[in-house]
Structure 1
Amino acid sequence: PAVTLCGLSFTSTSLYSKQHTLYSFQLIKEGEMRVLLLLLGTVLLAVMAVEAKKYHPLSDKFIDRVNQYATTWKAGRNFNRHTSMKHIKRLMGVLPGSKYMLPEPLYVKEYLLTDLPPKFDSRIAWPKCPTIGEVRDQGSCGSCWAFGAVEVMTDRTCIHSKGTQNFHYSAEDLVSCCHMCGAGCNGGMPGGAFLYWVHGGIVSGGSFNSSQGCQPYAIAPCEHHVTGARPKCDEEGGTPKCVKQCEKGYNVNYKRDLHKGKKTYSLPNDEEQIMYDIMTNGPVEAAFAVYVDFLHYKSGVYKHTHGQFLGGHAIRVLGWGKENGVKYWQCANSWNTDWGNNGFFKIIRGSDHCGIESEMVTGLPTDPKFHN
C-alpha cells in the first residue's frame, strides 16, 4: 500500500529501501569516524615521538615537553644532564622473557574481594615493620630484580611474624649466587629470585657498608642523580663473586643463616586479586616497561606520554589509592631517596599500564617461628 508523506507518495517497499539506505549511510559514517579518530590518535603519537626525539632525553626541554602533555603527574630533574644513557639502561635489570619463569598464579574466592578499601598503604598497616618504608640503592648494577625480591621477602617475614622478625634478606647473596635467576648485575628474572628463595634460601644482609647481617651489599651507592657526595656511577660495574660465607664479625655461619620461603606464586592480572593479596600478606614485586619519561617522575600518578623504551624494571608495590580521581599503585623504587618522591612513586592502576599488573610475583616465609 502507498503512504503519503508531505505530499509525496511512497510504497512500503520504497520506504524500506530508503530507511535501509539511510541506516547503511549512518554505519558508514560511524565507521569512517572511528577510523578517523584512530588515525588522528596514531598521528598524534607519531608527532609526540618525533618531537621527543628532537631533544636529549635528559634535557630540560624534554622535561618541559613531558609536562606539557602529562595531565596526572609532574616531571622534574632526577638525573644529571650528563649521565650516560648506557648507565641508565643498565638500571633496567629485568631480562626479556622473564614472564616465562613466573610461578603459577594464586587466585582467591570472589567473595573475599567485596570489602577492599579505597586506599591502603603497607607502611601504615604494619607499623612494626619499618623495612616497608625503606628505599635501597642498587648502585651501578642491573639488580632491580633482586632488590624488589629481597625487599618483599624482608617485609613479609616481618609482617607474618607480627613484627618480631626483622630479617633483612641479602641482595648481595641473591645477585651473586642465583645463577638460575639470570646474569646478576646484567639482569635477572623476579620469578627466579623467589624460586631460589624457596628451594635454596637466602642469607641476611643490609645496605652497602652497613655491617648488617651475613652479606651486606658490596656495591656502593653512586650518584645516579643531579648532585651529591656519592661517587660517579660506573657503566660497567660487574657482578660480585658468589662467596658462601658471612663477613667477619657476624656470629652465624652462612648455612645457618640461610632462610627459605614456604611458597612462591604470581598474581593474576586482576586488580582486585592483587589488592587482596597486598592487604592480606604485604608488598609484592612487579616488573614493568620503563620509558624515558619515567626517569623524570617527581609527583602525581605516572602515565607514560613521551620517550623511547629503555627496558624492564622491577620495583615493590606497597598499596593503592586514588589521587584527583585517578587510581594508582603506591610503589617503592631502588634508586635511592633522591629520585622521584623520596624514592617512591605512583602509577596508574587497573589498566595494566606499562605491563605492571601482568608480571607480579611474591611468596610467603617458611620458618615455623615466623608463623602462628
Structure 2
Amino acid sequence: MFQKSIKKNELIMLLLFLLVLSAHADLPVHCVRHQIVGKWQLQFTEPQIKGSGPLTCGHNVPDNERTSQFAGQNTFQQAFTHEVVLTAKNNVVLKKKLQGKWTMVYDEGFEVDFMHYKCFAFSKYKTNYSGAYSYCGETLVGWYQNTKTNERGCYRAQKIEKTHKVSEGANNGHVVQPQFFQYQNTGMNKVWSRIDALNFVEQINRAQLQWKAKAYGEIIGLTTKQLNKYAGRKKHSSTILLEKQKKKQQILEYDLNHLPKEFSWEKYLGKKIYEQKGCGSCYTISTMTMLSARLKIKGLKADLSPQQSIDCNYYNQGCDGGYPFLVEKYLTELDGLIYEEKEYPYKGQVGECKAIEKKKKYRVLNYRFVGGAYGKSNELNIMEEIYNNGPVVLNFEPSFDFMFYVGGIFHSTTPDWIINGLAKPEWEKVDHSVLCYGWGEENGVKYWLLQNSWGKQWGENGRFRMKRGQDESSIESMAEAADVEIIEDS
C-alpha cells in the first residue's frame, strides 16, 4: 500500500539512490573482442619508475573522459616494440609461440599479459560536437609493467590489420520493461504520476513473482527518460557492432553436486553497508568490501577504504564511475599502502589524494576476471570462486523495475540470447557493481546473495537476492576477484 508519508531518512536515501544508480559512466568508447583479435604492434617507452608509486602516463588523477583521449600523446617516446597476435581464445602468440593471455576490460580497453610484460590501455576514442567515435585498431597511451624487474613505463598499441571505426553517437534510448508488464503510453517523455507508480507496483506484486515492490514517492513527476537515465542507460548506440551470434545449445545446467545447496560468507562482511551518496562509486565500494571480507576470512579484521581509489586511481573516473578490475589493478601497484576506512574515511566525493603513515600493510595480488578473461564467467565458476576464496564482485544492468525492489528474489527479464538459443554474446551491458557473498534456493528458485551500496534502508536491510543460473540482468556476465594478504604489522 502506498504511504503518503515516508520517513525522512528513507526519502534522502532514495533520492541519492536515484541519482547514483548508474555506476559505469566510464569513457565514451565501445570496442569488443572480435574487433581486437588480430596482429598488433605494442609500443613501449623506457621504464619510468621501478617499484611502487603512481605512474599516470599523462592521465589525470582520477582520470576523466575529457582529457584521457589526449593523455601522454605529446611526451610519448617509443623505445622498443613487440608484435603479437591476440587470438579469439584470449591467447597471446609471439613468433608463432604461445606466450601469454589477454582479456578485454569490458568494452573500454584490453590487458595483454605475455612473457614478463603486463600491458593495459584504453581503446582510442575522439569526441567532437557531434558525439564520440571509437577507433578500435588503436589505443590511448597506457601503462606496462615488467614483472621480472618490477619496472614500469608507458605503452600504446596499434593494430597492424585494418579494423572498423565505430560511431558512438547516442540514440534516442528505449523503454526497458519486465516481461509481465505492458503499460500504455510508455514513451520516453511520459510523466509518471502517483497513480502510475501504484499501478506499476500493483502489477509487479499481482504477478506473484518471487519478489515484492514498493511505490517510492520520488519517481512522481519524472519522465520515463529520466528514470531510464537513473537506471544507468548511458551507453546505448545505434552503431554498436557485435560479432554475429550463432545458434548454439547453451550449457545452463551445470553439475553443482560438489557444492552445497546454500552457502554464505555473511558473518565476515561486518556491519557496515555503505551509502554511495552523490557519487558513482559502487565499483570501488564493492571491490574494497570484497577484499575486506577476504581478510576477515583469514582472521584479519580490517575494513579497507573505497575513498582511496576514488581520490587516487588514474585508471578510473572517481565519482563518475569505473571498474572493479581496474581498482584491483591499481591496488597491486601500491606495495602495501592500502588504507583502512578508519584511516581514509568515505566522503562520497572526489578529494585530494592523501599519503598517510601506516602500521599495517596489505598487498593485493592475482587480480582477475572469474573464468580467466572478461565474458568467461558463469554460474559454476562464480560459485567455485566464492566457495574456495571468498566473496566476489558481480556487475549487472538494472532494469526499470529494479528501483522498486523491497524484498524477495529479484527477476525481471530473461536475456534474449537465452530465449533465442544463441551463443553467449561477446559483450553484455552492465552499469552497477555489487558484492556477491553466497547463494541459496527457495521454493525451487536458485538465487545469489548480494550486498548493495545504497544504505541499510533499501531492499533487505541493504542487501538483495537475485535469480541465479539464467544470467538475470547480465549478473553472471562479469565477475571479478583478487587475493589480499597482510605483509607488515608493526
* Aligned residue number for residue 351 of structure 2: 241
Cα displacement (A) at 1:343: 0.6
Paired position in structure 2 for 1:317:
436
Identity %: 26
The 3 A distance-change label for structure 1 pair 83 and 335 is farther
2:192 corresponds to: 56
Alignment of 1:194-343 (within 5 A): 194-200=328-334, 203-206=338-341, 212=342, 214-219=343-348, 239-246=349-356, 253=357, 259-268=362-371, 269-304=377-412, 312-343=431-462
Shift of 1:76: 1.2
Letter in 1 for 2:396: F
User: Contact conserved, 2:450 with 2:465, CA < 8 A, in 1?
Assistant: yes
Per the TM alignment, residue 141 of structure 1 is displaced from its structure 2 partner at its CA by 0.7
- 1:198 offset after TM fit, Å? 1.7
How far the C-alpha of 1:243 sits from its partner, in A, is 2.0
- The answer to whether 1:186 aligns with 2:306 is no
Is the Cα contact below 8 Å between 1:265 and 1:361 reproduced in 2? yes
Structure with the larger strand share: 2
- Residue identity opposite 2:259 in structure 1: L
Deviation at 1:80, TM superposition (A): 3.3
Q: Among 329, 353, 357, which residue is 2:472 paired with? A: 353
Q: CA deviation at 1:199?
A: 2.2
Secondary structure of the 1:188 match is coil
TM-score (norm 1): 0.63
Query: Contact 2:286 / 2:435 at 8 angstroms: preserved in 1?
Result: yes
Distance in 2 of aligned mates of 1:260 and 1:95: 34
Match of 1:134 among 263, 272, 287: 272
Is residue 115 from structure 1 mapped to residue 253 from structure 2 by the alignment?
Answer: no
- Using structure 2 for the length normalisation, give the TM-score: 0.49
Distance 1:363 1:244 in 2: 24
Cα distance in 2 for residues equivalent to 1:276 and 1:262 = 19
Give the Cα–Cα distance (whole angstroms) in 2 for the partners of residues 359 and 169 of structure 1. Answer: 23
1:37-48 equivalences in 2 (<5 Å) = 48=182
**Structure 2: how far apart are the matches of 1:305 and 1:316?**
21
Q: For residues 234 and 306 of structure 2, what CA distance do their matches in structure 1 show?
A: 15
CA distance in 2, matches of 1:79, 1:318: 31
Alpha-carbon distance in 2 for matches of 1:243, 1:285: 25
SS of the residue corresponding to residue 245 of structure 1 reads coil
SS in structure 1 opposite 2:205?
helix
Shift of 1:205: 3.7
Amino acid at match of 2:369: S
Q: Give the CA deviation at 1:242.
A: 3.2
Checking the alignment, whether the CA contact within 8 Å between 2:361 and 2:486 is kept in structure 1 is no
- 1:365 matched to 2:484? The reply is yes
> Which position in structure 1 is the counterpart of 2:426?
none
| Count of residues paired in the alignment | 271
Q: Which has the higher contact order (CA 8 A, sep 6+)?
A: 1
Q: Distance in 2 between matches of 1:343 and 1:287?
A: 17
In structure 1, the partner of 2:23 is: none
The alpha carbon displacement at 1:66 in A equals 2.4
Corresponding residue for 2:289?
151
Structure 2 letter corresponding to 1:155? A
Larger Rg: 1
Q: Which amino acid aligns with 1:61?
A: N
Aligned-partner Cα distance in 1 for 2:453–2:396: 14
Q: Deviations over 1:249-306 (max 9, x none)?
A: xxxx16x665330211111322122112111211100110001211111121101159
Name the CA distance, whole Å, in 1 between partners of 2:351 and 2:366: 27
Q: CA deviation at 1:82?
A: 5.2
CA distance in 1 between partners of 2:352 and 2:203 (Å): 45
1:273 to 1:46, Cα distance in 2 relative to 1, 3 A: closer
Distance in 1 (CA, whole Å) between partners of 2:228 and 2:454 is 11
Deviations along 1:166-215, one digit per CA (max 9) or x if unpaired, are 1211111011111202x111111121111112223663343xxxxx2x21
1:95 shift after superposition? 8.1
2:361 & 2:234 partners in 1: Cα distance? 25
Deviation of residue 70 (structure 1)? 5.4
The structure-2 alpha-carbon separation of the partners of 1:153 and 1:46, relative to structure 1 and needing over 3 Å to count, comes to closer
The 2-side partners of 1:83 and 1:192 are apart by: 38
1:80-119 → structure 2 map (5 Å cutoff): 80-81=218-219, 89=229, 92=232, 114-119=257-262
Alignment partners' CA distance in 1, 2:454 and 2:193: 18
Task: Specify which structure has the higher proportion of helix.
Answer: 1
Structure 2 unaligned residues grouped into runs of 5+: 1-176, 237-254, 372-376, 415-428
The two structures, once aligned, show a CA RMSD in angstroms of 3.6
**Structure 1 segments unaligned to the other structure (5+ residues):** 1-42, 97-111, 207-211, 220-238, 247-252
The residue identity in structure 2 corresponding to 1:174 is S
**How far off its partner does 1:65 sit?**
2.7
